[in-house]
């Protein structure tokens, strides 16, 4: 299986990438690690006319501290994030979850930004960034804009990014000292999560419980009101519409959400 | 010291680890220069009438050489059971993946672009997507044509006599699914064909049996077999699904003639998962009854085999019936089997082929019976095992067992595992209310290898330089048989491994052969090589007698040094093989034999699986798998254990993970390796193998087959372990694969019932 | 487009369609067929090679993306004099291969693993090889091979 024909362009700067996007509009797709886009193209579920390779934009590969914020370049690979010393201290949930994505080969290519803009609700990092109160920074012809994660995941594979915009970085409040937990439930280690739960502090993100990554609002409210982990976790599936599939029904996913949320809360030190 | 029985690294490996094997897609033969590339356009619909095929647009696409449909072909009809299986679909398609058209292009990258442009009009018909739908007969796959009510073959009882259970204290009945799985060899199917100027067709095919493939393709093309040469290059796994030639191979041969150019074909994995045959797919209803002391009085199995759309392997349920009673001396065994057609991928052999289904059924039945009478499953088995002194033993279903030590095998496994301690730990967890339950699952099994009993060819040549070439009719593709045969020859002839070459898989080099399936290779192919070497030794004895001026019977072959000498006079003149061959009238000593009297043998064993079940999520983890697999004396423990490991992996996978699913319209939902849960390293434990070797008397080597044994034992061991883990919650059975949701649902069901 | 990739220490170049996958560049343009293709969903790992020293699945990298980079395939594992890489030696010694189809990818993934984790436990080996499927071995001897290649004792 090979992709339909397209024209390959490699951008060497962010501005060059933006210029190519401006030129080709909706006919173009950005290629970072390529581990969301190329599989779709090989199965011909996607067939862009122009592919703009941004993998060599070193200016978007970094993790740094900016005051109380951790700033992660959009082209940072999972492999790099998993071993990053700044994240280990200030966003250990992100580091840990990055090590759980796919397999080593995928982690050598896949990027944080690629995962976020692909906006697959079954992916791990969107829910992690959502739970982390992340802010996504995009650049376009009109300059830069900041989009809170809570406003970024609009629907399945849908974000507010325009075709001529490029995600450049993600900013998170430092999580140093906060408890965290990450529960990813799969049949095989390499599978996408049937359900996943990411907890940091008292924020709870849900993987694959609906068309977008979600916050477990009822659980978070209960925690704020002083509920125990058991009590709060029992509410984890409130207001969710999980996928209903032969190998994992919606009812089963709701059940898993409750079990995994309890486990993640306990891991985060919430009793 | 004999090399046989020692750990020898494989002679096959050097190439595989340096440049990689030469699989069909890797061939760069001159004969394939200028080849066109081929792709089959396949049905996306399970059951439909084809109202038209428009190939015009595809023919105009860049690089397209030709587009062919059934209307173009003139191949001899291919009889599959009671029906004719079209090479390319004619008026009706009967499964998703059925080939409909063939597209040939100049470049590989043009294939997918052009295939998309073949416009087929399908008028959908109701799909028969399950065994139940087939049995209902509401929709027929072959109305008025060979199969009435979708049921093709009925063996055994019309009606069962329930009186056989009259004296039982306890009787249990259970319907047990043996789900459909994908063989999923890591190399998909592929073939390349070229016609020579001499009018001969050469077909390089990823196959387990070049000679069977030759017969099939020659028959389809209407050629004498001499005009077809089939070569199996390195083959990246088969597991039963690459026996002989699939229909695509004959179409390639036809197409190469039609366009006057060589043709290359490699399917995609998505094609492979719908168009290469699947395995298992049985629904078995068992009834078992006996006394409270554990004695089973009668056992019944009613087999329904889903044959898929075209019944390529109706022998499968017959084997299941024959092996139904397994390792037990049941006085009464009732069997029946039916084959049904469904709008799904055809079913054929998959590692074990009919025997795993028998074992899975009887081993679940034994656990159900044990639970019913409140006896430990190990003890129930001991009560009913066929005893060592009863061999040879003929079962009520016609199994002609050679040798077995069934109780000893189980005892060895339980001792190695620490069964009593594990039971104690299980009880502790239950008492403590641990949400992670421990489960112990036993399977005792016997299977049949070399069951086709059609023999195998072997030829041994000793050359003027003292080197040896062996030609085996077996067709190994990963089993390490070349190493095993070389070891046998080294031992027998006194020639070092480095001077022995084993050839196979080319019909010009090995014209007569059966090939590799059913764990037959060492016992039949190995015996043939042994017999051929015996004949060469006899020839050499005569030559040596002349040279040494001694009576032939006074000569001996010193296999430590590889020389002939007068018996009892080791310091006298010796002759090496080169010297013997030099005295012969030809340039080599050679013997070409057919080992034809090899009766089937019956390997056996016992497995214990230890699983942990997270009762909150339903997830099962296999913690330990302890196995005895007794296949008689071992030629090379390294590869012997490798075969067991591989079998264990696939067997565990079937119990827990792997299943081919269809929706109610017959659409496959597991058609990529992203969706099909192919087992990975993280889902398997380190295996614990226990040695045991009980020889057979039925071949020259005393060996039984090991290729499938561990698959057969491990599936029910893990299955039983999962049920055992949940037993204290009241779960009595759940079907494979024991996916987390299925385990969770089983627990939910009993909670609701209580 | 024209791409130039250093493969096993040797400069290679070719004019290929933009959509060419790295694995096809290696097999068809460079002529190194050791790297195999086992699926079309980035699942099986048979096509694993090293790209700038790290394991990647070459079915999911465009040749164009590798332009100007370094690739190592199974053919580049052994030394110039033909001496086997420790991973190759260990796969043979531990019978970590049967049909051989997954083997090149499996070994390349193992080389990458050992670079990142020189003394892995058996469990760590299993997790690091989760992106490489093998149908023959049940993985047991593959795990043993990687443990041996790391210089640790194989105890089963």
Contact between B141 and B47 (Cβ < 8 Å) = yes
Tokens at A117, concatenated? 């803009």
More confident residue, B111 or C155: B111
Residue in B78, B77, B70 with CA at minimum distance from that of residue B102: B70
Q: What is each CA distance from B324 to B317, B351, B393, in whole angstroms?
A: 10, 17, 14
Predicted confidence at residue B663, as pLDDT, reads 96
Cα distances from B146 to residues A59, B92, B93, in angstroms, run 69, 15, 17
Identify the DSSP state of B346. Answer: P
Pairing of strands B575-576, B436-446: unpaired
Confidence of residue B552 (pLDDT cuts 50, 70, 90): very high
Q: Which of B740, B746, B749 to mutate to test the interface with A (most CBs of A within 10 A)?
A: B740
- Model confidence at B598: pLDDT above 90: no
How far apart, in whole angstroms, are the C-alpha atoms of residue A23 and residue A15?
A: 12
Who's near B749: CB < 8 A, 6+ residues apart? none
pLDDT band at B570 (very low <50, low <70, confident <90, very high): low
Nearest CA in chain C to A103: C131
Express each pLDDT in A224-267 by its tens digit.
999 999 999 999 999 999 999 989 999 999 999 999 999 999 99
- Residue in chain C lying closest to B183 (CA): C135
Q: Is it the case that residue B571 has pLDDT exceeding 80?
A: no
Cα A98 from Cα A125, distance rounded (Å): 7
* Residue in C135, C142, C144, C148 to test binding to B, most B beta-carbons within 10 Å: C135
Q: B436-446 and A180-185 as β-strands: parallel, antiparallel, unpaired?
A: unpaired
What span, in angstroms and rounded, lies between the C-alpha atoms of C75 and C142?
19
Query: Is the Cα torsion angle B497, B499, B500, B501 positive or negative in sign?
Result: positive
Q: What is the pLDDT of residues C72-91, one digit of tens each?
A: 999 999 998 999 999 999 99
Q: Is the pLDDT of residue B754 over 90?
A: no
Question: How far is Cα of residue B550 from the mean position of the Cα atoms in its chain?
Answer: 50
- Cβ neighbours for C50, distance < 8 A, ≥ 6 positions apart: C56, C70, C71, C72, C73, C108, C111, C112
Query: Which segments of chain A does DSSP mark as H helices, in order?
Result: 14-24, 37-42, 78-82, 85-90, 92-98, 104-109, 112-118, 124-131, 217-224, 229-233, 250-267
Count of C-beta atoms within a 10 Å radius of residue B96: 24
Closest C-alpha among B491, B505, B569 to residue B514: B505
What pLDDT is stored for residue B308 in this prediction? Answer: 98
Tokens for C64, please give them: 């164009």
Using alpha carbons, select from B173, B183, B184, B283 the residue that is nearest to residue B736: B283
| Structure confidence by residue, pLDDT tens digits, B139-195 | 999 998 789 999 998 898 888 999 999 999 999 999 999 999 999 999 999 999 999
Q: Which of A190, A252, A259 sits opposite B741 (nearest CB)?
A: A252
pLDDT score of B453: 79
Q: Is B64 helix (H, G, I), strand (E, B) or coil?
A: strand
Asked if C72 has any chain A CB less than 8 Å from its own CB, the reply is no
Instruction: Write out the DSSP string of B543-574.
Output: HHHHHHTS-GGGEEEETTTTEEEETT-TTS--
Q: How far is CA B459 from CA B340, B487, B496, in A?
A: 42, 15, 18
Using a CB–CB cutoff of 8 Å, tell me whether C11 touches chain A: no
**Percent of chain B residues topping a pLDDT of 70:** 100
Cα–Cα nearest to B81, from B167, B176, B146: B146
Q: What is the mean pLDDT of chain C?
A: 97
Structure tokens at A98: 């990055």
Q: Which residues contact B343 (CB under 8 A, 6 or more apart)?
A: B46, B47, B94, B95, B127, B128, B129, B141, B309, B666
Task: Select from C43, C99, C143 the Cβ nearest to the Cβ of B477.
Answer: C99
pLDDT of residue B586: 87
Contacts of A34 in chain C (CB under 8 A): 60-62, 65
pLDDT tens for B306-362 read 999 999 999 999 999 999 999 999 999 999 999 999 999 999 999 999 999 999 999
Which tens digit of pLDDT belongs to each residue from C95-148? 999 999 999 999 999 999 999 999 999 999 999 999 999 999 999 999 999 999
Distance CA(B413)–CA(C17), nearest Å, equals 58
User: Which residues does chain A have within 8 Å of residue C57's beta carbon, measured at their own beta carbons?
Assistant: 105-106
Model confidence at B543: pLDDT above 90: yes
In this structure, chain B runs to a length of 754
* Chain C residues whose beta carbon lies within 8 Å of the beta carbon of residue B688: 156
**Mean pLDDT in runs of 10 for chain A (271 residues)?**
95 96 95 94 95 97 98 98 98 98 97 97 98 98 96 97 97 97 97 98 98 98 97 98 95 98 98 90
| C-beta separation of A10 from A16 below 8 A | no
In this complex, which of A2, A43, A249 lies closest to B109 when CB atoms are compared? A2
What's the CA gap between B300 and B162, in Å, rounded?
10
Burial class (CB in 10 A: 0-12, 13-18, 19+), B146: middle
pLDDT digits (tens, 9 = 90+) for B129-140: 999 999 999 999
Residues of A in contact with C131 (CB under 8 A): 102-106, 190
Look at residue A35 and give its three-state secondary structure. coil
Q: B180 by DSSP, 3-state: which?
A: strand
Q: Is the Cβ–Cβ distance between B595 and B531 less than 8 Å?
A: yes
Residue/partner pairs of C123-126 with CB below 8 Å, 24 or more apart: C125/B681, C126/B681, C126/B682, C126/B684
Share of chain B above pLDDT 90, in %: 95
CA dist., res. B178 & res. B715, Å (int): 10
3-state secondary structure of A267: helix
DSSP B284-343: EEEEEEE-TTS-EEEEEEEEEEE--SS-S-THHHHHHHHTTTTTB--SEEEEEEEEE--S
CB contact under 8 A, C56 and A109: yes
Residue C59 contacts A, CB cutoff 8 Å: yes
Candidate from A1, A185, A246 with C-beta closest to B617: A185
Residue B1 has pLDDT above 80, yes or no: no
Separation CA C91–CA C103 (nearest Å): 9
Q: What pLDDT digit, counting tens, does each position of A32-55 carry?
A: 999 999 999 999 999 999 999 999
Which residue in the block uniquely carries the two structure tokens 């886009």? A37
Give per-residue pLDDT as tens, C23-44.
999 999 999 999 999 999 999 9
Give chain C's radius of gyration (CA, Å). 15
Query: By C-alpha distance, which of B654, B659, B652 is closest to B687?
Result: B652
**What's the token pair of residue A262?**
């309890």
Among B184, B347, B224, B369, smallest CA distance to B293 is for B369
Q: Which residue matches tokens 């009889």?
A: B79
pLDDT value of position A266 = 98
């Amino acid at each position: 299986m090979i992709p339909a024909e397209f024209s390959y362009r490699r951008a060497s700067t962010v501005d060059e990438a933006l210029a190519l996007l401006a030129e080709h509009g909706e006919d173009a797709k950005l290629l970072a690690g390529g581990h969301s886009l190329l599989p779709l193209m090989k199965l011909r579920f996607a067939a862009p006319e122009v592919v703009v390779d941004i993998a060599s934009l070193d200016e978007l590969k970094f993790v740094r501290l900016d005051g109380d914020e951790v700033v992660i370049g959009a082209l940072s690979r999972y492999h790099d994030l998993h071993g990053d010393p700044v994240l280990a201290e200030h966003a250990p949930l992100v580091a840990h979850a990055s090590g759980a994505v796919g397999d080593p080969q995928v982690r050598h290519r896949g990027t944080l930004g690629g995962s976020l803009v692909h906006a697959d609700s079954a992916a791990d990092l969107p829910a992690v960034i959502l739970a982390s109160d992340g802010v996504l920074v995009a650049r376009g012809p009109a300059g830069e804009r900041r989009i809170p994660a809570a406003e970024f995941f609009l629907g399945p594979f849908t974000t507010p990014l325009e075709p001529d915009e490029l995600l450049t970085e993600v900013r998170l409040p430092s999580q140093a000292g906060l408890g965290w937990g990450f529960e990813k439930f799969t049949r095989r280690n390499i599978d996408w999560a049937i359900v996943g739960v990411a907890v940091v502090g008292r924020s709870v993100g849900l993987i694959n419980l609906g068309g977008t990554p979600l916050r477990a609002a009822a659980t978070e409210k209960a925690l704020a009101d002083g509920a125990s982990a058991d009590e709060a976790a029992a509410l984890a599936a409130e207001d969710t519409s999980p996928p209903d599939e032969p190998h994992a029904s919606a009812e089963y996913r709701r059940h898993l959400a409750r079990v995994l949320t309890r486990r993640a809360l306990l891991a985060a030190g919430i009793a | 010291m004999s090399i046989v029985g020692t750990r020898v690294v494989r002679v096959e490996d050097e190439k595989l680890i340096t440049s990689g094997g030469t699989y069909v897609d890797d061939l760069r033969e001159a004969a394939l220069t200028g080849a066109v590339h081929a792709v089959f356009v396949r049905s996306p619909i399970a059951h439909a009438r084809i109202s038209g095929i428009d190939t015009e647009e595809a023919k105009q696409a860049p690089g397209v050489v030709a587009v062919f449909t059934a209307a173009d072909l003139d191949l001899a009809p291919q009889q599959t059971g009671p029906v004719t299986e079209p090479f390319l679909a004619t008026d009706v398609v009967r499964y998703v993946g059925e080939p409909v058209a063939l597209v040939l292009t100049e470049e590989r990258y043009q294939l997918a672009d052009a295939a998309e442009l073949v416009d087929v009009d399908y008028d959908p018909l109701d799909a028969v997507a399950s065994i139940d739908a087939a049995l209902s007969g509401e929709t027929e796959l072959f109305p008025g044509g060979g199969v009435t009510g979708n049921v093709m073959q009925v063996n055994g009882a019309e009606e069962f006599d329930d009186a056989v259970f009259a004296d039982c204290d306890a009787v249990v009945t259970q319907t047990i699914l043996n789900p459909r799985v994908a063989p999923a060899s890591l190399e998909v199917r592929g073939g390349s064909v070229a016609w020579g100027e001499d009018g001969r067709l050469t077909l390089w095919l990823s196959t387990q049996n070049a000679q069977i493939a030759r017969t099939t393709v020659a028959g389809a093309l209407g050629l004498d077999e001499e005009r077809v040469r089939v070569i199996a290059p390195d083959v990246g796994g088969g597991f039963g699904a690459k026996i002989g030639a699939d229909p695509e191979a004959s179409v390639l041969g036809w197409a190469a003639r039609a366009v006057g150019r060589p043709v290359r074909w490699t399917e995609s994995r998505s094609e492979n998962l719908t168009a290469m045959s699947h395995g298992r797919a049985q629904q078995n209803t068992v009834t078992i009854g006996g006394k409270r002391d554990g004695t089973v009085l009668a056992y019944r199995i009613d087999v329904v085999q889903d044959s898929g759309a075209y019944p390529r392997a109706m022998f499968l349920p017959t084997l299941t019936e024959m092996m139904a009673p397994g390792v037990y001396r049941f006085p009464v065994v009732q069997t029946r089997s039916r084959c049904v057609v469904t709008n799904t991928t055809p079913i054929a052999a998959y590692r074990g082929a009919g025997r795993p289904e028998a074992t899975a059924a009887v081993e679940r039945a034994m656990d159900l019976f044990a639970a019913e009478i409140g006896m430990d499953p190990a003890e129930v088995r001991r009560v009913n095992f066929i005893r060592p002194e009863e061999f040879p033993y003929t079962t009520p279903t016609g199994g002609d067992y050679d040798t077995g030590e069934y109780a000893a095998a189980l005892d060895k496994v339980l001792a190695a595992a620490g069964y009593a301690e594990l039971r104690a730990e299980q009880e502790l967890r239950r008492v403590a209310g641990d949400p992670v339950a421990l489960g112990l699952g036993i399977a005792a099994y016997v299977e049949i290898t070399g069951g086709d009993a059609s023999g195998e060819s072997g030829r041994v040549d000793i050359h003027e330089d003292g080197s040896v070439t062996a030609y085996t009719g077996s067709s190994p593709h990963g089993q390490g048989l070349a190493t095993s045969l070389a070891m046998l020859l080294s031992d027998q002839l006194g020639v070092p491994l480095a001077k022995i070459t084993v050839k196979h898989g080319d019909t010009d080099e090995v014209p007569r052969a059966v090939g590799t399936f059913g764990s037959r290779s060492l016992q039949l192919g190995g015996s043939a090589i042994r017999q051929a070497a015996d004949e060469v030794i006899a020839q050499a004895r005569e030559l040596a007698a002349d040279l040494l001026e001694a009576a032939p019977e006074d000569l001996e072959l010193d296999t430590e040094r590889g020389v002939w000498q007068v018996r009892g006079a080791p310091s006298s003149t010796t002759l090496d093989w080169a010297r013997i061959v030099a005295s012969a009238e030809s340039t080599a000593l050679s013997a070409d034999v057919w080992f034809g009297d090899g009766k089937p043998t019956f390997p056996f064993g016992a497995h214990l699986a230890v699983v942990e079940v997270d009762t909150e999520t339903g997830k099962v983890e296999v913690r330990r798998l302890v196995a005895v697999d007794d296949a008689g004396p071992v030629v090379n423990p390294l590869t012997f254990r490798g075969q067991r490991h591989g079998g264990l992996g696939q067997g565990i996978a079937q119990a827990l993970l792997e299943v081919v699913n269809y929706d109610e319209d017959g659409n496959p939902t597991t058609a990529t390796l992203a969706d099909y849960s192919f087992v990975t390293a993280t889902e398997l434990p380190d295996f614990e193998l226990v040695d045991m070797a009980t020889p057979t008397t039925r071949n020259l080597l005393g060996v039984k087959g090991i290729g499938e044994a561990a698959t057969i034992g491990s599936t029910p061991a893990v299955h039983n372990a999962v049920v055992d883990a949940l037993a204290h919650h009241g779960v009595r059975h759940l079907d494979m694969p024991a996916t987390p949701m299925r385990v969770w649902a089983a627990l939910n069901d009993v909670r609701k019932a209580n | 487009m024209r791409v130039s990739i250093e493969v096993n220490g040797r400069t290679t170049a070719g004019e290929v369609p933009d959509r060419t996958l790295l694995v096809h560049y290696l097999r068809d343009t460079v002529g190194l067929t050791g790297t195999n293709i086992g699926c079309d969903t980035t699942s099986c790992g048979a096509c694993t090679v090293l790209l700038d020293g790290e394991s990647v699945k070459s079915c999911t990298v465009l040749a164009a993306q590798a332009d100007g980079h370094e690739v190592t395939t199974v053919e580049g594992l052994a030394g110039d004099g033909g001496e086997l890489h420790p991973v190759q030696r260990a796969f043979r010694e531990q019978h970590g291969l049967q049909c051989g189809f997954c083997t090149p990818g499996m070994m390349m993934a193992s080389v990458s693993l050992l670079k990142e984790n020189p003394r892995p436990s058996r469990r760590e080996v299993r997790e690091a090889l989760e992106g490489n499927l093998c149908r023959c071995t049940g993985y047991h001897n593959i795990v043993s091979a990687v443990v041996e290649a790391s210089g640790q004792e194989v105890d089963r």
